[in-house]
Chain A
Amino acid sequence: MVDIHNLTFSYWRENKRGKNKYPLFDNLSLSLKSPNIYGLLGRNGAGKTTLLKIITGQLFKNYGEISVLGADPAKRLPGMLSRIYFLPEVFYLPSLRGYEYVKIHSPFYPEFSEEAFRKNSQEFDIDPDKRLNSLSYGQKKKFLIGFGLATRCSLIVFDEPTNGLDIPSKSQFRRLVSNSVQDNQTFIISTHQVRDLEHIIDPIIILDTGKVILNESMERISAELSMTIQRDEPEETNTLYSEKTLGGYAVIKKGPSGGEAIDIEILFNTVISNREKVIEIFNKNREDKNEA
């Protein structure tokens, strides 16, 4: 679906001394398979949006190899674009009615389903007869999410989809995405609002300092790491990370989970603060499995 090998990407910023080159990705490799709903996490400025733009052909790599749906995204071939739907955090909607938007944009997506769009609009409580510029930011976003899901594209990319959605809409979004995903589809959802999406995103990709430091399924993560809530401050040597929470400490330890679900926000903090150790745990066990 998406294969990235040794991607290098730098951007230029102007300051008082002139234009300077800032490396963002250095030999980044990533492989995404279907059907999955990938959660792309990273700190501010880690390059999540940039990576999504490179995958969707909006930005061009400096070096490395990228294949998206078997094509080079930088070529922006219609065959590839008709199988990708991208919803950025800041989006544009023309001054049209909802059904007019669908009428002029759906012919570009061969798998578009009017029925799915109608259902999505009903679920989100969006009236396609209304003028799109009269809708609120959240409603506009819901309209585009509904349209995007109805395109049935092989690769659906959402950048911060739950930003601006009200509480009921967030659960509607989770429900719609979970119900929409098909065998040939991959979703990439970049988000800071991990709590909004923690029950649907799996695998988790964590991006930091220009590299993918974690790209693992929740099953694998639970096999390697465990999370417990304890009253006292942890002292054990195999504690990777602990965080004071209401009523005790959330502790992430090395070793399989005893059935308790891992909080993705705490997992993220563990990976960021204990980067080398976490990489070592996942790499070591992968090597052991390969040897076996």
Chain B
Amino acid sequence: MKLSDTLEGKRLVNLLKRDVYLSWQSILIKSAALSAVIIVLTVINNMGRNPGFSHLINFALILFLVGYVITAKAFIDMHSKSRAYEWFMLPASILEKFIVRLTITSIGWSVLFLAIYALSSLAGEGLNVLIFGYRHTLLFNPFAFSALKVVLHYLITQSVFLFGAAYFKSGHFVKTSLSIILFVVIIAALAVFIGRIFFFQYYEEIVKPIYLNWENLQYDLYPLLKAVSKVCKVAYYVLFAPFFWFLAYLRIKEKEVKNGV
């Protein structure tokens, strides 16, 4: 198979153009709505001189929540009875179609939202000065390391929702969220179970049967915990997203246009 059969810049650009063209009106309306929400939040939080207010927290909450919802709908046409044929018959490879949707829902959304938040929060703070005569001390800086770190976490974690978008036929966001919750509960239960078996001496059996004496455990097993932490960090920053991207890609590759067949 030739590389041009799998990945070609011109086709990627054409696909990206097509997707943006088909949704630019919806993007514009949603961006305006988000902008209004950010301005209102900025102004409301200024009224009582809320000392705990942080643009970064607001930014992160909206980035993650809206981003996950958008990502969960990334392959909605692939699951649609009337639209699936159109998407699959479009002359581009599955990898190109996947890359375009990944780019739009990850980098595309992050960059757009950084811009929307920066401009809207600035507008909100301008209103604060006009209305109240004072504003929040810290303004939102889209180039700050803290903001970019939030974006990095979004780029990593949204891969799970991208997989959910490819895997589930409908209710992508809810089903993916429930799957994550179920997975976390199982892992937590498993961790407690394993902990009880292998580290039983650190449990204060009589007083609190499930209470783990974390301080003692940390002290005794510091090298092991450090190694586990390192492995987890590498897995999260390097392997987590590519793993789910790969699963999503495979799912799309195997998807057929069944429509009752």
Write the residues of chain A forming the contact surface with B, with a CB cutoff of 8 angstroms: 11, 50, 53, 56-60, 75-79, 81-82, 84-86, 88, 90-92, 94, 96, 100, 103-105, 107-109
**B91 touching A108, Cβ below 8 Å:** yes
Contact (Cβ within 8 A) B258 A59: yes
Inter-chain contact B256/A108, CB cutoff 8 Å: no
For A96, the chain B residues whose CB sits under 8 A away are 21-22
Given A78-B96, A84-B89: 4 more A-B contacts, CB < 8 Å: A58-B85, A76-B88, A92-B82, A108-B92
Which of the residues A57, A82, A92 comes within 8 Å of B86, measured between beta carbons? A92
Question: Total contacts A to B, CB within 8 angstroms?
Answer: 75
A104 x B18 contact (CB < 8 A) = yes
Task: Please give the distance in Å from A190's CB to the nearest CB on chain B.
Answer: 14
Instruction: State A78–B11 Cα separation when bound (angstroms).
Output: 9
A sample of 12 cross-chain residue pairs with beta-carbon separation below 8 angstroms, ordered by A number, consists of A59-B261, A78-B5, A78-B91, A78-B96, A81-B91, A82-B91, A84-B89, A85-B89, A88-B85, A91-B82, A92-B83, A104-B21
Size class of the B contact interface (CB-based, 8 Å): 20 to 34
Point out the residues of chain A lying under 8 angstroms from B80, CB to CB.
92
Q: For the complex formed, measure the closest distance between the CB of A150 and the CB atoms of chain B, giving whole angstroms.
A: 15
Contact B93 A77 (CB under 8 A): yes
Q: Contacts A88-B85, A104-B17: A94 and B261 contacting too (C-beta < 8 A)?
A: no
Which residues of the other chain, A, contact B84 by a CB distance below 8 angstroms? 58
B contact set with A: CB distance below 8 Å: 1, 4-5, 8, 11, 14, 17-18, 21-22, 80-86, 88-94, 96, 256-258, 261
| Residue numbers in A under 8 Å from B91 (CB-CB) | 78, 81-82, 108-109
A108 in contact with B90 given A53-B261, A59-B256, A77-B5 (CB within 8 Å): yes
Contacts of B256 in A (CB 8 A): 58-60
Q: List the B side residues contacting A59 at CB < 8 Å.
A: 256-258, 261
Question: Complex Cα distance A147/B150, Å?
Answer: 45
Give the Cβ gap from B200 to chain A, nearest Cβ, in Å: 45
A76→B84 CA distance, assembly (Å): 14
Q: Which residue of B lies closest to A94 (CB)?
A: B22
Whether A105 pairs with B88 at a CB distance below 8 angstroms is no
**A56: nearest chain-B partner, CB-CB:** B89
Are A58 and B257 neighbours in the complex by a CB distance under 8 Å? yes
With A59-B256, A100-B21 already in contact, the answer to whether A86 and B94 are too (CB < 8 A) is no
A81 lies within 8 A of B83 (CB): no
Given known contacts A58-B256, A59-B257, is B14 in contact with A78 (CB within 8 Å)?
Answer: no
When C-beta atoms are compared, the residue in chain A nearest to B18 turns out to be A104
Whole-angstrom distance between the alpha carbons of A19 and B14 in the complex? 41
Inter-subunit contact A76/B17 (CB<8 Å): no
User: Considering the chains assembled together, what is the distance between the CA atoms of A86 and B258 in angstroms?
Assistant: 15
Contact B93 A76 (CB under 8 A): yes
Q: Complex formed: what's the CA distance from A270 to B77 in Å?
A: 42
Query: Can you name the residue of chain A whose Cβ is closest to the Cβ of B14?
Result: A107
- The CA of A19 and the CA of B250, in the complex, are separated in Å by 24
Q: Note all chain B residues with C-beta closer than 8 A to A57.
A: 88-89
Q: Identify the interface centre among A82, A91, A94: most chain B CB within 10 Å of its CB.
A: A94
